[in-house]
A and B are shown apart, each in its own frame.
Chain A
């Protein structure tokens, strides 16, 4: 019986296939030969038969081009000359430094959803800067280093991964970014270009456009040896019609916990920005006792009696500001921005400043000196005019930053222009103002042997000229 059924079914099935194939063939033939004006045989004789530039051929050509693996090699060269005039010095005593930095990259596009990128920072400094106390601690220093090294891929167009050393910047502030929990170095608004190196991360980004949400889940791998030292960050961004709001939560090694909130909201005439961070278990000691000049010794790390442990306390850092933009002189753009920063964890006692600066030089020290995050209260105001010059590619900007605790500050003027198509020029001049304080630090008299050679930054005056070239 089964055999009989098979015998009957087989011809029916075969007929179905033949009918289906015939119908398909009819459709195909209609497509290919159905039009009356279809040219079957071209009468035109060519010395070389190239075939028609049909849409099919073009599509195949394009598909093949897209399958090609692309490797771009290029970079950017920065040539910088700086002049630093220290406290109580003449112009002729100014310290000159010249540096050349090349960001050389290899960018491989292996597929639509697969990328590899490598960027090496190569630097060459003519003058040694090892004795200059940096304004903001830098990872780079004298050495050449890998700036970026990552692969990117996405799964189902919904999960975007970036693995490796990559640049990142979180937060909304212009000068202070307390919610930028990932970068090792703080952003320096006085730098002509942001030369900070990338951060070692495993980053997963999940956009949820239906809910106006963007989620980051990040593992930070810098300075980690064991699993429990891996830092974890979760950030959720929500987009409204005219603003963006973000919540961040970061847990890093030693159980340091940071919570962050950012908002950037557009109103009719200006934008309002806020970045607020709450920090728990900050491992840095808080210096309470200023050392006298005679006590400064080379190997003197600050000990427990001079510091207090605030690891059980919560501190908040908040920056808030505005951005106002309008068109002036018909086609130029005026930008005015202002920002206030409150740093609960900061110092008000400036007497401890020399101890902290000296200690930041001693290997193993956990203190560091960053004038932008040292005090408690700061304010900044900036003004820029863009679109100047015949080709509208020049800009002038002025920024003034002040520590409200000790009334010291800095004013910097920056001029930028595009000299040639691929060559840009930036120049800056900065004056550090006020009496002794965060922006005008002084070591006073000290027994530390290397202190005499130190050029303490910020200086009294600085000027920079930078040429940057793309290739």
Chain B
């Protein structure tokens, strides 16, 4: 009986050792990957990474989505909108249409190359606008558009850091001289395997932190065999100047498919508007 117990113990001990070995073997690639992430990137690698992020933000196919936008105001309560976004990166066109609430339904933005038009249904007025902050929220049109970081900014590697449990590359961007951009400096925390920015911080020229953005719940969108892209289904934007204000952007529906050219016209937006 005692011998039997000893045998079982020895067997278990052996099995545990085996299990440990097996576990180590299984975890080896992960451990090696984490350990093999270079602790720094040279300038060429940084530039390549930023360029890849630009490419990943662009779609070869057209894109349309329905998005909830919630603005949490420190004092005045929450604003909640639903909007439709249509994007055609190849022609550099973007249409945004407010769907809800009814007080804002019909308001729309149309970006055609470098022309930004705002339609005001109450007066039937089309104006080129320069203020692109969207309807009292912390978002602006650039949040819905593709990136052109490699052209507009020079990039510098900061460190390999951890964002929660995830190792990320921290890259600092500084606006190139003579180029007009929304933020003079940007900090990016990039997931190394897929090259997506999970966290973005934007700074003013004075060095003051303006906004922090977290992009989560990434989901693969697109049909098998065609262009498939990871999209952050939830984005949280924190106003760092007025603490307590934040905007949450949740994608309700999204599709990568060819859109009719008419969607990017004044006539179409007017027809959908009030």
Contacts and interface: CB of A to CB of B under 8 A. Distances in A.
Interface of A: 72, 74, 76, 103, 105, 107, 113, 115, 117, 152, 154, 157-158, 160, 162, 166-169, 172, 194, 196, 198, 205-207, 209-210, 214, 237, 239-244, 264, 266, 268, 271, 323, 325, 327, 330-331, 333, 335, 386-387, 390-393, 418, 420-422, 470-471
A210 B242 contact: no
Nearest to B207: A330
Contact of A168 (B73, B74, B124, B242): B124
B266 A392 contact: no
Contacts of A335: 130-131
B221 interface: no
Contacts of A470: 103
A194 B113 CA distance: 30
Interface string B188-204: 00000000000000001
B165 interface: no
A213 to B, nearest CB: 10
Given A330-B241, A391-B245, A209 B265 contact: yes
A209 B264 CA distance: 8
B271 A244 contact: no
Given A167-B122, A331-B210, A333-B131, A421 B271 contact: no
23 contacts: A117-B274, A152-B271, A167-B121, A194-B123, A196-B123, A205-B267, A206-B267, A207-B265, A214-B267, A241-B115, A242-B115, A244-B115, A244-B128, A266-B115, A271-B128, A325-B131, A327-B204, A330-B205, A390-B245, A391-B75, A391-B76, A392-B136, A422-B103
Contacts of B245: 390-391
B114 A242 contact: yes
Interface string B253-274: 0000000111011111011001
Given A209-B261, A239-B112, A330-B241, A420 B76 contact: yes
Nearest to B93: A209
A325 B122 contact: no
Contacts of B122: 103, 167, 194
Contact of A418 (B76, B114, B130, B242): B76
Nearest to B136: A393
Q: Which label, helix, strand, loop or mixed, suits the secondary structure of the B interface? A: loop
A327 B206 CA distance: 12
A118 to B, nearest CB: 11
Interface in B193-250: 204-206, 208, 210, 241-242, 245
Contacts of A162: 270
B131 A386 contact: yes
Nearest to B79: A421
A74 B102 contact: yes
Contacts of A172: 128
Given A117-B274, A167-B124, A422-B103, A391 B267 contact: no
B133 interface: yes
Contacts of A113: 271
The 3 closest A-B pairs by CB, nearest first: A330-B204, A167-B124, A207-B265
Contacts of B115: 239, 241-244, 266
Interface residues of B, number: 46
A323 B245 CA distance: 30
B117 to A, nearest CB: 8
Given A194-B123, A207-B262, A207-B266, 15 more contacts: A107-B274, A160-B270, A166-B124, A169-B126, A209-B262, A214-B267, A241-B114, A325-B130, A330-B205, A330-B210, A331-B210, A333-B131, A333-B133, A386-B131, A390-B242
A172 B115 CA distance: 14
A241 B93 CA distance: 11
A118 B205 CA distance: 48
B105 interface: yes
Contact of B128 (A264, A331, A387, A418): A264
B77 interface: yes
B125 interface: yes
Point out which of B79, B264, B268, B271 has the most chain A C-beta atoms below 10 A from its C-beta: B271
A50 B125 CA distance: 49
A194 B125 CA distance: 11
A242 B136 CA distance: 26
A160 B241 CA distance: 44
Interface string B112-146: 11110000011111101011010010000000000
A31 B136 CA distance: 47
B100 to A, nearest CB: 10
Contacts of B105: 72
B130 A271 contact: yes
A207 B267 contact: yes
Contacts of A154: 267, 271
Most chain B CB neighbours (cut-off 10 Å) among A74, A242, A271, A331: A331
A194 to B, nearest CB: 5
Nearest to A206: B267
B109 to A, nearest CB: 15
Given A242-B114, A391-B74, A391-B242, A74 B103 contact: yes
B81 to A, nearest CB: 12
Nearest to A167: B124
Contacts of A422: 103
Given A117-B274, A194-B123, A266 B262 contact: no
Contacts of B180: 268
A239 B182 CA distance: 25
A97 B77 CA distance: 33
Interface in B163-203: 180, 182
A115 B271 contact: yes
Nearest to A269: B180
B130 to A, nearest CB: 4
B114 to A, nearest CB: 4
Contacts of B208: 330
A62 B70 CA distance: 23
B265 to A, nearest CB: 4
Given A206-B267, A418-B136, A392 B242 contact: yes
Given A167-B124, A242-B114, A390 B267 contact: no
Nearest to A239: B112
B105 to A, nearest CB: 7
B104 to A, nearest CB: 8
Nearest to A270: B130
Contacts of A268: 180
